[in-house]
Amino acid sequence: MRFHSLQIGTKLTAWYMLFMLIGFAAGGCLAFLNMRNSIHSTVDGQLRERLSVVRETVNRRLRTAQVKELGEELDEDSELRPESDLLQISDQEGRWIYQSRTIKPFQLSARPAKTPTSEARTEVVKDTPIRLIAETVSLNGEVYYIQIAARMDGFYGALTRFRGRLLVLLPLILVVATAGGYWTSRRALSPVDAISLAAQKINPRNLSSRIAVPHTGDELQRLSETLNAMLGRVDAAMQKITQFTADASHELRTPITIMRTRAELALRRLRTEREYRETIEQLHAELVRTSQLVDNLMLLARADAGAELIQLEELDLVDLLRRVVSRAAPLAEERGVSLRANLPERNAVWIEGDSQLLGRLFLQLIDNAVKYTPASGYVSIEVADMDKTTRVAVVDTGIGIAETDLPHIFDRFYRADKTRSRESGGAGIGLSIGRWIAEAHLGSLNVESRSGVGSTFFVILPKKLVRASPGAMTLKA
Ligand code: ADP
């Protein structure tokens, strides 16, 4: 099994154990060395203190050749510290001047092996470790060697016991701490298992269910909240798609039923040529409406998928509006509604946008205004050219929109007056497409209306756009 395929808890524990092992090994070595050094420095300090006393005695006694008195004086002192007072003094020829009782069994050479340096060193003599300082004293033209030492077996024994305990205790602590670390990490990560279990249970049919959020204020709480927020978005998108599919099929069913009934009626018996022509004309009109509806539905679906790419170009808004008004004029005339375009006569208003989509948006607004305005009413189009934006208003003196309908008229498939709207061929998606077009141009589409008085639809468009990426636009500074 590879390391990276292990569970997080196991991986964390392995790292934890490795670092603890390194820490314990380093800590153990440091503690051992520290203890040894402090033993050495204590022993060396005591040896040096003693050495200075001995040196003073040697100087005092040997200056006057009192070798015997020197021995007695040193013996007296040595009795006080028989364990640590290993002392011997010899002369240049290797003759003994003094040997303490305790140093004799070691049979140290009368001449120090190394040139005396006053440096303390450890030597093992007859299986016993000793700490030794050797020093030379010159007196009356003679050279004397003083060697002073202390037995270290007691100290080293304690050190060895300390090391033995470390070697047993540290692995034990390591095992206990590793087990504790593993348990802690499993415990800390157990909500992750709960989260993934809950996430596994979520499928397209129960997208409204959510993951339980642990109120721990940590990463796991944030993770579950983020997942829930994502689920919320997926759920909303899914509901939108389901609703769209249901609404779209519902809208398509009505014209198809009408066409089917008309065709079946016509086929029931032999008809005259005029009757056939009439039926075909009716079918044709219904087909035109249906294909417009399918067109709109496809536009909405592509817009939802983010696939409707805008073809940006420099265009004269006034010219565009003029063309749209002339397309809507026959309908207005047919309905007895007067259509006025208050456009600047000579001035062009240059903006960046998709002429096809913007044409579709304005035609929709003018078409609606004409459709929902009774005969002898009027519809006018106004353009306000501002510094960085332009505002187009489509004003009518029509039936207006009730306050309760106002918040919904930009919703898909929403019709304020169902029967009337259907009669005039509307499926309730014109305004939602219109708003999408305005927003895709980083602009807006809004309405002010009073029931029975009339409505004004405002389109505000920025003049300069920059395409940041396909489908995404930013405003030009
Ligand atoms: P439709 O295709 O049904 O006209 P729209 O999306 O274009 O759908 O409009 C949605 C609803 O908003 C319409 O059913 C209608 O009730 C209302 N509406 C739109 N424009 C006007 C207007 N100028 N005057 C009054 N009501 C309007």
Q: Mean pLDDT across the chain, nearest whole number?
A: 87
* Probe target for ligand 1 pocket from 331, 370, 372, with the most ligand atoms within 8 Å of CB: 372
Lowest average pLDDT, out of 141-145, 205-209, 410-414, 465-469, goes to: 465-469
Q: Ligand 1 within 6 A of 361 CB?
A: no
% of the chain beyond a pLDDT of 90: 47
Tokens read off for 407: 């918040």
Task: State the pLDDT confidence band at 446, using cuts at 50, 70 and 90.
Answer: very high
Tell me what pLDDT residue 203 has: 87
Tell me the mean pLDDT in the region 34-60: 90
Q: What are phi and psi of 395, to 5 degrees?
A: -105, 135
Q: Residue 99 pLDDT > 70, yes or no?
A: yes
Among protein residues, the one whose CA lies closest to atom 16 of ligand 1: 416
- Alpha-carbon distance of 72 to 150, in angstroms, equals 20
Q: Ligand 1 within 6 A of 426 CB?
A: yes
Task: State the pLDDT confidence band at 473, using cuts at 50, 70 and 90.
Answer: low
- From the CA of 357, how far away is ligand 1's center (Å)? 19
Q: Quick one: 147 exposed, middle or buried, by C-beta within 10 A (0-12, 13-18, 19+)?
A: buried
- From the CA of 415, how far away is ligand 1's center (Å)? 6
**Amino acid at the residue 285:** A
- How does strand 350-353 pair with strand 313-316? antiparallel
- Alpha-carbon distance of 6 to 11, in angstroms, equals 6
Q: Residue 82 pLDDT > 70, yes or no?
A: no
Tell me what pLDDT residue 156 has: 93
Tokens read off for 320: 């565009």
Query: Is residue 339 a contact partner of residue 332, using CB atoms and an 8 Å limit?
Result: yes
- From the CA of 316, how far away is ligand 1's center (Å)? 27
Q: Ligand 1 within 6 A of 372 CB?
A: yes
Q: At what angle do helices 273-304 and 430-440 cross, to 10 degrees?
A: 40
Lowest average pLDDT, out of 214-228, 252-266, 297-311, goes to: 297-311
- Alpha-carbon distance of 196 to 217, in angstroms, equals 19
Q: Which of 50-59, 347-356, 442-451 has the highest mean pLDDT?
A: 442-451
Tell me what pLDDT residue 212 has: 86
Q: Ligand 1 within 6 A of 421 CB?
A: yes
Tell me what pLDDT residue 106 has: 85
Tell me the mean pLDDT in the region 177-189: 89
CB atoms within 10 A of CB 358: 24
Task: State the pLDDT confidence band at 370, using cuts at 50, 70 and 90.
Answer: very high
User: What pTM was estimated for this model as a whole?
Assistant: 0.60
